[in-house]
Amino acid sequence: MKTTTEQGDVVNQTKELKQELGYDDPIKDKGECKTIPLPIPIIKEDKTLNEVVLSKPHAGHLRGVSLYDVCNADFDTGRKIIPRISELDERDMLNMETENWAPLLTGLASFFVNTEA
């Protein structure tokens, strides 16, 4: 049976190995992002956002929503997904100027349609 010290060493070695392999990073394909320019900048805390970077949604980001609604640029669906794939939070989404919604929802839907036809 291993002692507490040996168990602690194994845990530390496992953490170090995970960090070396990059397993501590959130699941995100950093190569598949879209930068969406905003018609009206968003003021978030102490910075002004003139654009929002959307990461390509994965299955976990889409939980509880319909892909049909995503592609139809449904407001409630966008309000749920965009905070999961960007630096915006739900409060930002609810307080956002209406002119910013169309570019963000179109950018989100564009991950699911082939635009290179």
d(CA 1, CA 49): 56
At 44 the pLDDT is 86
* 3-62 pLDDT per residue, tens: 656 555 666 666 676 666 555 544 455 558 999 999 999 998 889 999 999 999 988 899
Global pTM reads 0.69
Structural Rg of the chain based on CA atoms: 19
pLDDT of 106 over the 90 cut: yes
At 114 the pLDDT is 73
At 32 the pLDDT is 87
**Which of these, 108, 20, 40, 30, lies nearest to 72 by C-alpha position?**
108
